[in-house]
Amino acid sequence: MRKGFDRTAALVTGFALLTRAAHLAGYLAGKHSALYYWPVLAAERYRTEAAGLVSGLKVQGGFAFADPAYPYILALSILTGAGAWPVFALQLASSVAIAWMVFRLALTAGSSRIAAVVASLAWSLYAPASFYDLTMLSVTLSTLAVTSIVLLATGPGAGSTGALATSGMLSGMLAGLRPQMLPLALIPLRSGLRRSSVAAVVSAGAVAIPLLLLSWQQNARGGPFSPLASSTGLNLYLGNNPDADGFSPAVPSAGISEDLRRDIHEAAREFAAARGFRTPGEADRFFLSLALDYISAHPGRTAHLMLVKWAAFFGFRPFDSYYEMGRVNRFSPVFNLGPPRWLYICMFAAGLGAFLLEGRHRVVLLAPVVLSLLADILFLHTERYTLPALPAMCAVAAAGLSMTTRAVLAGKARRSALPLAFGAILLLPSILFPVPRIPDCLYYQSLAVRAYQMGEYDLSLELFERSAAASPLGSTVWVLSHYEAARIASALGDADRAHQHEIILESNRSQ
């Protein structure tokens, strides 16, 4: 039996390795890979900060983003002389390891062997997960940390000193990679307390080490002695304001939106500074006050936004405010082989009810899912924030569907009706409030911004013009695309082309 188990584990690991190798080959051979994968403004900040750390420049100011540990990982990669490729290799290897973990987790949760294999293969084939492996974002490493914590708490060695220390360290690291998952630290802390005083000290110390290191680093940069960035208030405001739709972080009525030169955090900082809130802490408290005032004054709209974000979490289309995940199959031909998101969501919903009734390690396995859902509802929905919960969701789906299948084969089909109905109810908001499809004009504009950041100004100009042509006349996207096209054309020395865009803009203003 042990020998068979090893063969099966090797099978799912080998398949995951094959999918990542195919993705890497497609990335290297793709004509437009750089355009699709190039860092957006926030990720570009990671790279800039990492380069500064390597060159010895002292980074000033507190943490700007919620995953402040990632630039330090990038800096270590740059020190090798191979740029970001060591990080990409680490992320690809992490994704392969997660496939093995999903298989193990599914078996631990009560899945049949076949269903556990299917769950692992499903992870390997999910196109957005594979895509993030080759981006300068902490998504894959966060997912590895979350899945490892769950596996260490449910596997054969759960409760051992080594498992507690490793799980605690990973939990503390999540403060610098995916802070909304930091409550997972309660898993090793609780296990240590239940085992012995020594185990409790080990788990608490392991959690504290990365938290203290992050706090020390932020304080050394002139920020507060805290492992977390001062951005909770801003994130709450971006998800709860007069312009909020549950997806886009932009607040046009306040002038808070990204452009070619500033990301959403920089735009928000300028907005707060203009009102006298100049330090990161002051600005964050200001935005927290705005968000709470809006929530208390508009309970009905707040409830509607929460329902929309609930629907997005269980949505049938992937959505990311950085990359257009709904068109991820265009990024690489390999992604055309991946199952659609709705299949993953339906499998999870169908298996959840049975797992809640009969599954093993329910609290631990569902903890990442609940934390991701809560973060979605409170802030904004985006694929890169919810992906760390996907391995646990695959394992839960495999276990729950295995239990349902066993009940049906045992002649107890009626027992399965209620759990399946429960799953259907979870999906009802997703049908009522489907995840929006990004319009072509916004898609082309996002590519134009990325091309500009790459220094491909001719391509950026062409894409801004395509965005303008696809935009509704006079819309914000239309105006911005024509404006940027005019500016770029002028900088490239094409005065006639720039003048055409200026005439169009002037004609629109005179109407």
Torsion of CA 428, 431, 436, 440, to 10 degrees: 160
Please give the pLDDT value at position 3: 47
Distance (Å, rounded) from C-alpha 83 to C-alpha 343? 37
Tell me, what's the pLDDT at 454? 84
d(CA 196, CA 193) in angstroms, rounded, equals 6
Tokens 């070619």 found at: 260
Q: Name every residue whose Cβ is closer than 8 Å to that of residue 278 and which is 6 or more positions away in sequence.
A: 272
3-state secondary structure of 251: strand
118 and 351 Cβ atoms separated by less than 8 Å: no
Both tokens of 178, joined, read 């995916």
Q: Rounded CA gap, 273 and 256, in Å?
A: 12
Measure the CA–CA gap between 158 and 59, rounded to whole angstroms: 40
Grouping H, G, I as helix, E, B as strand and the rest as coil, residue 394 is helix
**The one-letter amino acid at 198:** V
Q: What residues contact 108, with CB distance under 8 A and at least 6 apart?
A: 151, 154, 155, 360, 361, 395
Question: What pLDDT does 1 receive?
Answer: 39
Q: What is the pLDDT of residue 360?
A: 95
**Domain residue limits, the chain:** 232-297, 440-510
8 Å CB contact between 177 and 141: yes
Contacts of 469 (CB under 8 A, 6+ apart): none
Q: Take residue 84 and report the two structure tokens written for it.
A: 């970001």
Report yes or no: 155 and 419 within 8 Å, Cβ to Cβ: no
Phi-psi domain of 155 (left: phi exceeds 0; alpha: psi -120 through 50; beta: other): beta
pLDDT digits (tens, 9 = 90+) for 386-428: 999 999 999 999 999 999 999 888 888 777 888 899 999 999 9
Residue type, 307: L
CB-CB contact of 397 with 354 (8 Å): no
> From CA 384, how far away is CA 128, in angstroms rounded?
9
Q: Which residues of the chain have pLDDT under 50?
A: 1-4
- Give CA–CA dist 69/138, Å, rounded: 9
Q: Please, are residues 335 and 329 in contact by the beta-carbon 8 Å criterion?
A: yes
Q: CATH assignment of 440-510, given 2.40.50.140, 3.40.50.2300, 3.30.479.10, 1.25.40.10? A: 1.25.40.10
pTM above 0.75, yes or no: yes
Chain segment 197-217, per-residue pLDDT in tens: 999 999 999 999 999 999 999
What separation in angstroms does the CA of 414 have from each of 115, 116, 220, 346, 411?
22, 25, 62, 20, 8
Cβ-contact 253, 243 below 8 angstroms: yes
